[in-house]
Amino acid sequence: MTRITTDQIEALSDLSPRRKRIRDDFPLIKRGFTHYLDFRFSESFQPLLISQFPTLVGPTTESYRYKYPLHRISTTDYALIEVFLHSIESVVIIRDVLDASFALDYAFLDGDPNKERTRVGDLVRRLKNYGSTDKTFDEQLLQILTNICMQFISKCKLLSEVDAVAVVPGSRPNRQNYLPEAIAKRIAVGLDVPYLGRKITTKKDRSENKEAEPKRKLRNIIDNTNVASLDFRNKKVLLIDDLYQSGISINTIGKMLGDAGASSVIGLCFEKACRN
């Protein structure tokens, strides 16, 4: 894992584009008898496909029409990649400084807050404990969301071949009935790997951090989070959170895991916010 710096995290908002959902911008292109794969941006999308199809890296061509490099691929690879991508077409590919980052879908249809919630967005809304500390989860809804996570993970070698599962800790210490943790524990069982979420802890309440500017938010997370370093050494970690908005929280925790010796950190959020 390449060492992540605080400057890189603060600069996340400068990246453009930051995300794309597979079905909205399908990355396979046919031009006559030649087939191309469009990575558009290398972060997240490229490691996902390279891990799935190890022989994929091939010649590239600069295209004036498309204004970004296209990767020339065989007819066979085109067919295999097409099937794979259609199977995960609702997933949002996110550009950041982790080894890769994904969200199961947008919170709202087409990433538009004026539209209805997606299936994932509706599940998260019904499960989250807004303002409550003692609400228990609906087990049926919890299992449905877990199944959606596992369906995506099981199709992707990049995610299914991790060594451990952890979670971005809540903004309050010792938070009970925390949705990311409830799902992360089930994912760890499904993958038969250790759950290390309790090895990342919040030292004091940082609830006010949500509306802070990036530099302050990042520093508050670092100053108020403990990571048990020895537990993450040389581990490929799947890091779970509920919502990906600016990416400051998950990337900062990813940085701390990298500093603790993790060999790789893959981010997976349930829903992507409509804004960055």
What single-letter amino acid sits at 275? R
Check whether residue 100 and residue 237 sit in a common domain.
Answer: yes
Strand partners, 258: none
Are residues 200 and 240 located together in one domain of the fold? Answer: yes
Asked if residue 22 belongs to a domain, the reply is no
The residue with tokens 């038969």 is 192
Global model pTM greater than 0.85: yes
Do residues 73 and 165 share a domain?
no
| Higher per-residue pLDDT: 179 or 206 | 179
φ and ψ at residue 227, rounded to 5 degrees: -125, 125
Query: What's the average model confidence in pLDDT over 250-272?
Result: 97
CATH number at residue 193: 3.40.50.2020
> Does residue 21 lie within any of the structural domains?
no
Instruction: Tell me which of 62-71, 115-124, 264-273 is least confident.
Output: 62-71
Predicted local distance difference test score (pLDDT) of residue 66:
46
Is residue 71 pLDDT above 90, yes or no?
A: no
Residue 126 located in a structural domain: yes
Q: Exposed, middle or buried by CB within 10 Å (0-12, 13-18, 19+), for 208?
A: exposed
Q: Is residue 65 part of a domain?
A: yes
Same structural domain for residues 183 and 54? no
Measured CA distances, 26 to 15, 38, 45, 130, 267 (Å): 20, 8, 12, 36, 22
Same domain as 210, residue 114: yes
Examine the domain organization and report whether 177 and 61 are in the same domain.
no
Amino acid at 102: F
Helices 248-259 and 214-223 sit at what angle, rounded to 10 degrees? 40
Total domains present in the chain: 2
CA distances from 11 to 73, 218, 219, 224, 258 (A): 33, 12, 14, 21, 18
Domain shared by 74 and 196, yes or no: no
Please report whether residue 261 resides in a domain: yes
116 and 169 both lie in a single domain: yes
Write out the DSSP string of 197-210. GGGEEE-S--GGGG
Higher confidence at residue 227 or residue 274? 227
**In the predicted model, what is the mean pLDDT of residues 133-147?**
88
Nearest to 221 by CA among 197, 246, 256, 195: 256
**Band of pLDDT at residue 248, cut at 50, 70 and 90:** very high
Question: Domain of 104?
Answer: 6-16+92-272
Instruction: Please indicate, yes or no, whether residues 244 and 146 belong to a single structural domain of this protein.
Output: yes
* Mean pLDDT, all residues of the chain: 89
Do residues 206 and 250 share a domain?
yes
- For 218, list phi and psi in degrees, rounded to 5: -60, -50
**Do 119 and 232 sit in the same domain of this protein?**
yes
